[in-house]
């Protein structure tokens, strides 16, 4: 069957235009077309290449009580994402082809959208020995020890040299363990006022500074995870001005919240922590001037019990299902961030930086599409999430827009009209997509 979206506003080549889009129930886009059993008046919608989240935690294998490939990819479809990159803090850690196989098998059987796994940088993410990067390279999107910073400079240099040789990104969780001192929220006014132990900004920006020196030395493509401080933005901006192959992401919560918004609730506990208003403003400035390339949710579900200990709960919140409506409502509608800038950060730049195909609404291109409804006032309700996780600081927030449909590989995998999810898993098509 062919899905025909008629008279749609389309985001193509960084600008908006109107026309009809046909996506055969096959993997490629066509333009125009005639009526079919699935024809939609899309005049009030915006159609764009499917969102890509380069930083999610799907917890399988090893921690399926938190999330699975199935529930996490359902959540992604609900949020308009047609591809997500899954971090390697799993059991077993994908640090060899053998240890990667259980995750690849779960993806093949259960993924509803494209799930692209990371390989670990070091064995067991312990930072002591390099993982089997060459063996994993054809099957992973990049290498990361997310959740743990690579503490040893020489180990990171070796990893960068190998990644450069293999044509892969190093994606870095930047955290200096010697500077944490038992902190668990931002070292700011809220922490001091309420007797919490703080995490200093230097614990993030100092490893970035070190790694940028190694990028100058090795020439490795390097991507910084979840940037949260103004100092980190300044370092990355300078590195880009030098022409270094550096990129970075931040999360919706860092762009919208600051430590003045904190409550002693597990919904506000993540790593890095929500920082100061000055940090938030610097992140917005970095998004506007191109220093920050991507917005990634760091979707990190936990059980209700694990998130029941206030600001001493386990680190991590869910984000796939509410990222777009919150970002649009809080940043685009007030005129803080242009709509095109937001869309570039959600669907164009991630594909470019991670060298993923698609991203164009053109005949013959991969039919990974997201349909947005910009006139849909509703409240974020975590009880309606497909994710097994429910912990988000945005629960109950009123938003003005949402995802109406998600099409992955030519298949309608989500539609808001009936909250339908295609129960047939979408083959990840790893050979073509990576």
Look up the domain containing 321 and give its range. Answer: 50-359+376-396
Phi/psi for 88 (5° steps) reads: -95, 10
What does the pLDDT look like over 38-59, one tens digit per residue?
Answer: 576 777 799 999 999 999 999 9
CA dihedral 287, 290, 291, 292 (to 10 degrees): 50
Per-residue pLDDT of the chain (434 residues; tens, 9 = 90+): 566 778 889 998 888 998 887 765 556 665 544 444 557 677 779 999 999 999 999 999 999 999 999 999 999 999 999 999 999 999 999 999 999 999 999 999 999 999 999 999 999 999 999 999 999 999 999 999 999 999 999 999 999 999 999 999 999 999 999 999 999 999 999 999 999 999 999 999 999 999 999 999 999 999 999 999 999 999 999 999 999 999 999 999 999 999 999 999 999 999 999 999 999 999 999 999 999 999 999 999 999 999 999 999 999 999 999 999 999 999 999 999 999 999 999 999 999 999 999 888 888 888 999 999 999 999 999 999 999 999 999 999 999 999 999 999 999 999 997 666 655 555 545 455 66
- Counting the structural domains of the chain, the total is 1
8 A C-beta contact, residue 131 and residue 120: yes
Half-sphere exposure of 46 (CA within 13 A, CB side): 22
Q: Which residue is associated with the tokens 């290449």?
A: 49
- Is residue 265 part of the annotated active site? The answer reads no
Task: Using CB atoms within 10 Å of the CB of residue 125, give its burial: 0 to 12 exposed, 13 to 18 middle, 19+ buried.
Answer: buried
pLDDT tens digits, 375-407: 999 999 999 999 999 999 999 999 999 999 999
Distance, CA of 227 to CA of 234 (rounded, Å): 11
DSSP 8-state symbol, 160:
H
Does residue 20 sit within a domain?
no
3-state secondary structure of 174: coil
Per residue in 284-314, pLDDT (tens digit) is 999 999 999 999 999 999 999 999 999 999 9
Which among 316, 352, 288, 370 is positioned nearest to 9, based on CA atoms? Answer: 370
CA separation for the pair 365, 373 (Å, rounded): 23
Dihedral of CA atoms 387, 345, 296, 400 in degrees, nearest 10, equals: -40
Judge whether 404 lies within some domain: no
> What's 200's domain CATH number?
3.20.20.140
Q: Report yes or no on 27 lying in a domain.
A: no
CA dist 152 → 130, 146, 178, 289, 325 (Å): 11, 15, 12, 32, 40
433 occurs within a structural domain: no
Rounded to two decimals, the pTM is: 0.94
Domain-located, residue 141: yes
Please indicate, yes or no, if residue 405 is contained in any of the structural domains: no
Tell me whether residue 243 is exposed, middle or buried, using C-beta atoms within 10 angstroms of its C-beta: 0 to 12, 13 to 18, 19 or more: exposed
Q: Which pair of structure tokens corresponds to residue 160?
A: 């960068």
Residue 318 falls within a domain, yes or no?
Answer: yes
In a domain, 128, yes or no: yes
Catalytic-role residue among 293, 298, 395, 404:
298
Span 227-262, pLDDT tens digits: 999 999 999 999 999 999 999 999 999 999 999 999
């Amino acid at each position: 069957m062919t899905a025909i979206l008629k008279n749609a506003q389309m985001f193509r080549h960084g600008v908006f235009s109107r026309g009809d889009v046909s996506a055969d129930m096959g993997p490629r886009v066509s333009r125009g077309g005639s009526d079919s059993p699935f024809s939609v008046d899309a005049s009030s919608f915006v159609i764009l290449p499917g969102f890509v989240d380069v930083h999610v935690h799907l917890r399988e294998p090893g921690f399926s009580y938190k999330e699975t490939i199935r529930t996490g990819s359902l959540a992604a479809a609900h949020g308009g994402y047609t591809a997500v990159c899954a971090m390697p803090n799993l059991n077993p850690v994908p640090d060899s082809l053998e240890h990667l196989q259980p995750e690849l098998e779960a993806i093949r059987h259960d993924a509803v959208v494209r799930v692209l796994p990371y390989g670990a940088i070091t064995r067991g993410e312990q930072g002591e020995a390099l993982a089997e990067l060459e063996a994993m390279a054809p099957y992973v999107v990049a290498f990361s020890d997310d959740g743990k910073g690579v503490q040893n400079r020489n180990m990171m240099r070796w990893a960068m040299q190998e990644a450069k040789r293999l044509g892969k990104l190093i994606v870095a969780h930047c955290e200096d363990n010697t500077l944490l001192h038992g902190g668990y929220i931002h070292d700011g006014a809220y922490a001091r006022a309420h007797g919490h132990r703080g995490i200093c900004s230097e614990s993030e920006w100092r490893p970035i500074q070190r790694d940028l020196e190694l990028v100058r030395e090795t020439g490795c493509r390097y991507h910084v995870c979840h940037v949260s401080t103004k100092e980190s933005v300044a370092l990355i901006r300078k590195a880009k001005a030098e022409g270094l192959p550096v990129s970075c992401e931040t999360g919706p919560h860092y762009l919208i919240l600051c430590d003045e918004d904190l409550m002693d609730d597990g919904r506000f506990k993540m790593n890095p922590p929500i920082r100061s208003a000055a940090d938030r403003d610097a992140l917005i400035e970095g998004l506007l001037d191109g220093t920050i390339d991507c917005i990634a949710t760091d979707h990190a579900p936990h059980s209700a019990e694990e998130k029941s200990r206030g600001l001493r709960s386990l680190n991590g919140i869910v984000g796939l299902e509410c990222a777009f409506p919150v970002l649009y409502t809080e940043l685009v509608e007030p005129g803080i961030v242009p709509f095109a800038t937001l869309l570039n950060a959600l669907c164009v730049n991630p594909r470019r930086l991670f060298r993923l195909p698609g991203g164009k609404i053109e005949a013959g291109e991969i039919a990974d599409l997201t349909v947005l409804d910009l006139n849909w006032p509703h409240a974020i309700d975590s009880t309606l999430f497909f994710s097994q996780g429910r912990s988000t600081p945005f629960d109950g927030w009123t938003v003005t827009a949402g995802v109406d449909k998600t099409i992955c590989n030519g298949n309608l995998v989500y539609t808001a009209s009936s909250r339908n999810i295609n129960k047939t898993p979408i083959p990840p098509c790893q050979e073509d997509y990576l």
